[in-house]
Chain A
Amino acid sequence: MCEHDLIQQPSRRELLGKLACGFGSLALASMMSNAYGAEKKAGPLAPKAPHFAPKAKRIIFLFMQGGPSHIDTFDPKPKLEADDGKKVEFNVARTRKVQPRTVLKSPWKFAQYGQSGRWVSELFPETAKHVDKLCFIRSVHTEGVAHGPATLFLHTGATAFIRPSIGSWLTYGLGTENQNLPGFVTISPTQNMGGPRNYSNAFLPAVYQGTAIGRATAPATQVKFRHVTNELLPPEQQKKQFELLQALNREQARNAKGDDEVEAAINSFELAYRMQMHAPEVTDISSETPETLKLYGIGEKETDDYGRQCLIARRLCERGTRFVQVNYSDNGSNPRWDQHSNLKAHEKHARAVDKPVMGLLQDLEARGLLEDTLVWWGGEFGRTPFSDGRDGRDHNPTGFTVWLAGAGVKKGVAWGETDEYGFEAVKDKVHMHDLHATILHLFGVDHEKLTYRYAGRDFRLTDVAGHVVKGILS
């Protein structure tokens, strides 16, 4: 609070100077700005001043769609073992009633790891090796009992209303640091559970919408930016065509003197032409070393797909993309981690993400990127300590675990607690709004001040709620 009171808004020029360095020159950034006349305006995507000094410059969100079970992964509860098969009363979120349910123990063993002694189940052997880098939040709670509402709430802070995604808010608030690439990219997103609404700009200007590359269930080898390659014309031929187009445009612009939009249209082609040079390279991992590929589990059957997605995420981050979401998703009505029955299937999903995610974390660290990159792992909710059917668990929005790592968060920490069954968050509770507020805070953004006026009202990501979880900040 005090922090931003002390720091007066620096001039935009100052900030541009500060933020643009390292991401190409300021001149380049403004020349290639996306929207309006480059010389006159810096453009809506130009880097903007945060409210106070940021810890994070970019974020990778590893979305575990369907709701991984916290009590089978990072939040062990001996009481489940003790009461396995017993009927116990729970305040069931689905029915909004206190009702008896049958307790189901975890089929996996837990152990403590690292210097910090954090608990991890045998589902995540790789993660277990790196617990000292992670900050587990074991008291998250959210809104929405079904996937659709909860997934939207996770991304937009609203279950039913049409609101901008957190990535759109960040890009709107801070701009993007590489004008050759989108500032907000989501890799292989689901079409279900709100689909594009999860990376939509909603009422924010269109430049802030997330760019989807690839789609859920399509192989990660097909993850590419759309329309950035011209496979029909040889480069010299395309150059000739491009020169014709721009000559025609300049001729026609003479009749539209001083029209910003016409100027912007001409500039947009200059940028597009350059993007053809840069964008295909980002999703092309052929230049990566065999060691790197191995680190991400690329080449191994179970981890190849998510490994590729994670590696592309790192490449985007290196090149200045602000918000990258890596989706472990499908398009089903029971998304991947949604084990209402056959909880054992968690093994398959854990195997698919464990190594790639830890590979990403190590790679970021080795490249010095982890210092100012925030990594967020989690689903739209957790799972119930009681059984659903015989051998599954139901959705649990009242208490679950996510972990953060990297920029500005404590290491080897477990924040908050759920009750003895792992059902409800009870200590140091972190609502999804609080998590959003905290993420914005790490970017130097006050969640109460990042607003946009639409239909006569100032909107924000956290609506009228949200507290920064100061206890996890390093």
Chain B
Amino acid sequence: MLRLRSTLPFTLLAAAALLHPFSASGAESDAASIEFFEKKIRPALIEHCYKCHSAKSEKIKGKLRVDNRNALQRGGETGPGIVPGDPEKSLIIEAIVYKNPDLQMPPDNKLPDEMIQDFIAWVKKGAVWPNEKETHAVVEEKKLDYDKLRKEHWAFQPLKETPPPAVKNAAWPQSPIDNYIAAALEAKNLQPGQRADKRRLLRRVSFDLTGLPPTPEQIDSFINDESPNAFEKVVDRLLASPHFGERWGRHWLDLARYAESAGGGRIVPLNNAWRYREYVINAFNKDKPYDRFIREQLAGDLLPATDFNERGENIVATGFLAIGPKNLDTQDKDLLRMDVVDEQIDTIGKVMLGMTIGCARCHDHKFDPITTREYYALAGIFRSTKTLTPGNVSGVVQSGLPLDAEMEQKIKEHDKIVAALEQKLHSLRVDVKANAAGKEKPKVDVAAPPATVVATAPAPPPTGKAADAEKKATDPASLPGIVLDDSQANIIGSWIKSTYMGRYVGEGYIHDNNKQKGEMIVSFAPTFAAGGLYEVRVSYTSTHTRADNVPVIVQYADGEKTVTVNQRIPPPIDNLYVSIGTFPFSAGNDGSVTISNTGTNGHVIVDSVQFISVDPASADTGKAVAVKPAADKPVAGTDPVPAKPATVVRTDDQEKAMLDKLEKEITELKKKAPVGPVALAVKDEEQTGDYNVCIRGDVHRLGQPVQRGFLALAPFPSQAVTSKQSGRIELADWITDPRNPLTSRVMVNRVWHHLFGAGLVRSTDNFGLTGETPSHPELLDYLARQFVAKNWSIKQLVRSIVLSSTYQVSGAARADAAKVDPDNRLLARYNRRRLDVEALRDAMLANSGQLDLTPPTASLLRLNYEKPKANRRTVYMPIERETIDSMLEVFDFADPNLVVGVRNTSILATQALFFMNSPFAVEQSREAAKRLVAEAPAGTARIQRAYARALGRPPSAEELKLAENFLANANGNSPEATAAWAQFYQALFACVDFRFID
């Protein structure tokens, strides 16, 4: 609507304005009105508004001008500035009265009240403005021609098939790849490069494919293998190695901004994130087709599966959507939800399509043909996807994974036993109570199993006569422990009192009327006479219209926990309370229990909270706590509750002991419950559907609804999403459609980047108009077509590239090429590259013999990996967004908050200091020296052995001389000699040839 208004041809508006040259409602004389305007309004506008809202403003804010009536009436981005005669509908009035926190003008200071009254009076009387020529028309921002861009930008065009060009040096190409490369070189009168020597080549391909250096034995074997396919054999060995997935999986984790904590405000761990890491590594090892890989990560939870393993894998894959950085303690939960959606869209755009879609959140993309409507068409899909769980500090969704038969059986059996015991406990309580009330004791055979047992379901509420006998209201004083009724709570929002449903504690309960979600909060602040462990229980009245996801936040002595309560099922304890868990509280009033209606899906009930000491030594009977006496008024509509002493006190010791024992037994049993595997994974929201445009990205200002759908820039038609599901499957279909040229081009370019140090398109995450153009567009399309044709196989793609002559050329400098092509875009030589931190650390550990190559099947805790014996591969180190390991930080590890297709490769003094002085470098040098001393006799042989292991080659004559001088006195195996060898090894770790591959 707003857009329409601002794009109306100016002449039309001018014509309309001509019909009303003056005020439309001329109640007062024009002269008086104009005088009022000139005296009161225009000066105020000039003084307070012109700076940002006139033709002379440096930048017209909000596209609103107030220096002529037409412009003011037409308004800006938010809507018409004035509606003559109707101050209530006039946005400038809304802005100056400062009632709307999001719209306050002038931004720095509220206008004097008198002036505000003048403005209101002026608008009311028709906003009279003398007829004057509009001096400056509002200049429309130049619109990009999106259609033209869609038709013309190279990246949006279908994959082209260009036959490999013929080349002069016909002996050089081993693969069509080489034809494209050689042809471009020859066009510049350059010869393709010479083949690299075997040692360098082996070191290069070993690091590139597995991230590990070749062992001296592997070097010897390759040097001695003179068969024509010796290199091919090496490549196939490396491709089959489980370390391939660790190397290439890590490349993907850079894109997936993998981390094990949320990284926003509070430190919130992302438990089970490691399963996603394991999934990615396995996917590369299994050579999972890339299209399938994408489908699983976007919509695995919605895909059919043939068995529980596949189903589990599919669910874990969606961790891709869940592990992004987020500020879970953002209080504006609508904003948080949209921030998460935005992060997902932005990530998918960059990772899979090479497009910066996130730019269109607030306005149409300034460079690429992506409209805000298209953005919100995608947003609808992810608004329909559940990533967060409610709470003051929100959580991230975890999904139980399908169980194998054995585990399933175990859990079932456990639940059965617990349910039986709980049934027994319930019966016993009824029994005790009946006894206490002096009624006839119903006969309960505690030994007999209950007639029906539903796993983990609460005991059925009493019905019929038994229910009548139950008191609707329970006196808090009759309950054990500390009981805080809703009447004693700190209440925020318009909660409604009720006594409609029983049972409840005190004079009734309160409910949120299923309204104003996220704004109503009740907080209980207990005072403990003594610190210790307390079981926290909350009471509510249940029925099917209740919310099944009520967040209850317990703040206790050393933390905070959010528990979700299902108020649709009857509370299991005495049909009154549900246990939230047991927490430590300190003496005094530090703790709290907060119940809110944030994100809830039905009526939320708040009745009372009970704290029962589970630490007999410091039992807090609640006597010290002021409990509001309920004696003033009789409880409406119910019989008075029996006065104190309370029921439990009357129980004889034997019964109490039985109760205690049983309760303890159940608690213990629950602690030992078998737990099935859980993954960080998204699922569809209960309510799925389209979303609206958020005006200027403001989640509190919704514009028109938009049907869910995809981007129009792909060169094939796509349909809007009408599914009852979120639409993630449809999105995955659209992305992996072989006609979508971005998906395959972006991925083959990433693989090229990792093998050559630069992509054919160097801006790997941006194929849009501000990205780079490909150096070899025909080659890029050739690779993309091959990739799709070969079932999206990453291993086939990698194999075809490393077996080309292009990959195998020498890295030695070429003066002829350097002049014509200083950036080596034409690949006349191989790009020398710095080892990334994973390869560097793993190589140091491989040299020292300390590397533990077993993949862990869990998250490595920090304590664990700091122990020398837990020297797993770097890919398994825990990645916490709050504390990145110092070595990773120093050596340009991918920022886990960003999509990183290309890592920084800085060369800094802090890195040099790490080699010189870090405990890790010192320790590994010592270990490497110990190993070396044991392996080879002192002298030249030992130096050669160290070179073979560290650099994959023998020392040069000069290097040998330097080393021999340094080690002149380090003969034999004495500790002094070993220490000297450790110093030597430390220098090897730090030297250029260790840190670079060429």
Instruction: Identify the A interface with B (CB < 8 A).
Output: 34-36, 91, 93-97, 99, 144-149, 151-152, 159-160, 162, 191-197, 200, 202-203, 205-207, 211, 226-230, 232-233, 237-238, 240-242, 244-245, 247-249, 251-253, 255-259, 261-262, 264-266, 268-269, 271-273, 275-276, 331, 333, 341, 389-390, 426-429, 431, 453, 455-457
Q: Is the C-beta of B20 less than 8 angstroms from some C-beta in chain A?
A: no
* Cβ A258 vs Cβ B987 within 8 A: no
Sample of 9 more A-B contacts, CB < 8 Å, known A206-B906, A427-B108: A34-B907, A34-B909, A160-B339, A206-B908, A226-B918, A261-B832, A264-B907, A268-B908, A456-B368
- Segment from B131-139, B789-797, B882-890 that makes contact with A: B882-890
Residues of B with C-beta under 8 A to A227: 910, 913-914, 916-918
Given A202-B895, A205-B904, A227-B916, A252 and B359 contact (CB-CB distance below 8 Å): no
Residues of A with C-beta under 8 A to B366: 457
Report how far A96 CA is from B966 CA in the complex, Å. Answer: 71
Q: Is the C-beta of B199 less than 8 angstroms from some C-beta in chain A?
A: no
Q: Choose among A91, A149, A205, A429 the residue that contacts B101 (Cβ–Cβ < 8 A).
A: A91
Q: Choose among A146, A206, A207, A428 the residue that contacts B330 (Cβ–Cβ < 8 A).
A: A146
* Interface residues in B901-927 (C-beta closer than 8 Å to A): 904-914, 916-918, 922
* Cβ A256 vs Cβ B908 within 8 A: no
Given A191-B267, A203-B898, A96 and B108 contact (CB-CB distance below 8 Å): no
Output the least CB separation between A246 and chain B (Å): 9
Report how far A273 CA is from B583 CA in the complex, Å. Answer: 53
Number of residues of chain B lying within 8 A (CB) of chain A? 94
Residue among B818, B898, B918, B991 facing the most chain A CB atoms (10 A cut-off): B991
Output the least CB separation between B189 and chain A (Å): 21
Given A148-B329, A253-B992, A266-B992, A248 and B898 contact (CB-CB distance below 8 Å): no
Residues of B with C-beta under 8 A to A268: 907-909, 911-912
* Cβ B492 vs Cβ A95 within 8 A: yes
Report how far A127 CA is from B360 CA in the complex, Å. Answer: 48
Report how far A426 CA is from B107 CA in the complex, Å. Answer: 9
Report how far A394 CA is from B988 CA in the complex, Å. Answer: 57
Report how far A457 CA is from B518 CA in the complex, Å. Answer: 35
* Cβ B991 vs Cβ A149 within 8 A: no
Output the least CB separation between B723 and chain A (Å): 29
* Cβ B770 vs Cβ A457 within 8 A: yes
* B809-835 contact mask (Cβ, 8 Å, vs A): 1 or 0: 000110000100000000000001010
Residues of B with C-beta under 8 A to A264: 907
Report how far A331 CA is from B267 CA in the complex, Å. Answer: 9
Report how far A257 CA is from B983 CA in the complex, Å. Answer: 27
Report how far A456 CA is from B988 CA in the complex, Å. Answer: 40
Q: Is the C-beta of B704 less than 8 angstroms from some C-beta in chain A?
A: no
Q: Choose among B592, B882, B993, B996 the residue that contacts A191 (Cβ–Cβ < 8 A).
A: B882
Q: Is the C-beta of B548 less than 8 angstroms from some C-beta in chain A?
A: no
Report how far A390 CA is from B992 CA in the complex, Å. Answer: 64
Residue among B266, B889, B995 facing the most chain A CB atoms (10 A cut-off): B266
Specify the chain A residue showing the minimal Cβ separation from B965: A244
* Cβ A237 vs Cβ B983 within 8 A: yes
Q: Choose among B107, B326, B589, B922 the residue that contacts A160 (Cβ–Cβ < 8 A).
A: B326
* Cβ A259 vs Cβ B832 within 8 A: yes
The 28 sampled A-B contact pairs (Cβ below 8 Å) are A94-B331, A95-B493, A147-B329, A148-B265, A149-B265, A160-B264, A191-B882, A192-B265, A192-B882, A194-B265, A195-B267, A196-B883, A197-B897, A211-B910, A228-B913, A237-B983, A241-B966, A245-B991, A257-B813, A268-B911, A271-B912, A272-B912, A275-B913, A455-B766, A456-B356, A456-B368, A456-B766, A457-B356
Q: Choose among B264, B368, B883, B906 the residue that contacts A205 (Cβ–Cβ < 8 A).
A: B906
Output the least CB separation between A236 and chain B (Å): 12
* Cβ B906 vs Cβ A389 within 8 A: no
* Cβ B992 vs Cβ A265 within 8 A: yes
Report how far A228 CA is from B917 CA in the complex, Å. Answer: 7
Given A251-B959, A271-B912, A275-B913, A244 and B984 contact (CB-CB distance below 8 Å): yes
Report how far A217 CA is from B833 CA in the complex, Å. Answer: 40
Residues of B with C-beta under 8 A to A389: 490, 525, 592
Residue among B266, B343, B992 facing the most chain A CB atoms (10 A cut-off): B992
* Cβ B265 vs Cβ A34 within 8 A: no
Residue among A36, A91, A269, A453 facing the most chain B CB atoms (10 A cut-off): A269
Residues of A with C-beta under 8 A to B330: 144, 146, 148-149, 159-160
Report how far A160 CA is from B907 CA in the complex, Å. Answer: 30
Specify the chain A residue showing the minimal Cβ separation from B267: A192
Q: Is the C-beta of B692 less than 8 angstroms from some C-beta in chain A?
A: no
Report how far A66 CA is from B390 CA in the complex, Å. Answer: 24
Report how far A333 CA is from B108 CA in the complex, Å. Answer: 33
The count of A-to-B residue pairs whose CB atoms sit within 8 angstroms is 243
Report how far A247 CA is from B518 CA in the complex, Å. Answer: 67
Q: Is the C-beta of B674 less than 8 angstroms from some C-beta in chain A?
A: no
Q: Choose among A149, A197, A252, A266 the residue that contacts B329 (Cβ–Cβ < 8 A).
A: A149
Residues of B with C-beta under 8 A to A245: 987, 990-991
* Cβ B906 vs Cβ A35 within 8 A: yes
Residues of A with C-beta under 8 A to B987: 241, 244-245, 248
* Cβ A148 vs Cβ B327 within 8 A: yes
Residues of A with C-beta under 8 A to B275: none
Residues of B with C-beta under 8 A to A206: 892, 904, 906, 908
Output the least CB separation between A336 and chain B (Å): 15
* Cβ A240 vs Cβ B356 within 8 A: no
Specify the chain A residue showing the minimal Cβ separation from B987: A245
Output the least CB separation between B985 and chain A (Å): 11
Report how far A212 CA is from B222 CA in the complex, Å. Answer: 46
Specify the chain A residue showing the minimal Cβ separation from B358: A455
Specify the chain B residue showing the minimal Cβ separation from A427: B109
Residues of B with C-beta under 8 A to A145: 331-332
* Cβ A341 vs Cβ B589 within 8 A: yes
Q: Is the C-beta of B519 less than 8 angstroms from some C-beta in chain A?
A: yes
Output the least CB separation between B426 and chain A (Å): 37
* B102-145 contact mask (Cβ, 8 Å, vs A): 1 or 0: 00000111100000000000000000000000000000000000
* Cβ B560 vs Cβ A333 within 8 A: yes
Report how far A226 CA is from B265 CA in the complex, Å. Answer: 26
Residues of A with C-beta under 8 A to B909: 34, 268-269, 271-272, 275
Report how far A266 CA is from B990 CA in the complex, Å. Answer: 10
* Interface residues in B575-609 (C-beta closer than 8 Å to A): 589-590, 592
Q: Choose among A34, A152, A428 the residue that contacts B327 (Cβ–Cβ < 8 A).
A: A152
Q: Is the C-beta of B263 less than 8 angstroms from some C-beta in chain A?
A: yes
Specify the chain A residue showing the minimal Cβ separation from B525: A389
Output the least CB separation between A449 and chain B (Å): 14
Given A248-B987, A426-B110, A272 and B897 contact (CB-CB distance below 8 Å): no
Output the least CB separation between B558 and chain A (Å): 10
Report how far A273 CA is from B330 CA in the complex, Å. Answer: 45
Report how far A195 CA is from B834 CA in the complex, Å. Answer: 28
Residues of A with C-beta under 8 A to B908: 34-35, 206-207, 268
Given A34-B908, A265-B995, A268-B911, A233 and B101 contact (CB-CB distance below 8 Å): no
Specify the chain A residue showing the minimal Cβ separation from B989: A245
Q: Is the C-beta of B958 less than 8 angstroms from some C-beta in chain A?
A: yes
* Interface residues in B950-990 (C-beta closer than 8 Å to A): 956, 958-959, 962-963, 966, 983-984, 986-988, 990
Residue among B912, B983, B987 facing the most chain A CB atoms (10 A cut-off): B912
Residues of A with C-beta under 8 A to B332: 96, 145
Residues of B with C-beta under 8 A to A194: 263-265, 882
* Cβ A232 vs Cβ B266 within 8 A: no
Specify the chain B residue showing the minimal Cβ separation from A261: B907
Q: Choose among A207, A226, A230, A249 the residue that contacts B992 (Cβ–Cβ < 8 A).
A: A249
* Cβ B109 vs Cβ A97 within 8 A: no
Residues of B with C-beta under 8 A to A266: 992
Given A99-B492, A261-B832, A248 and B959 contact (CB-CB distance below 8 Å): yes
Residues of B with C-beta under 8 A to A428: 108-109
Output the least CB separation between B751 and chain A (Å): 21
Residue among B107, B343, B916 facing the most chain A CB atoms (10 A cut-off): B916
* B64-76 contact mask (Cβ, 8 Å, vs A): 1 or 0: 0000000000000
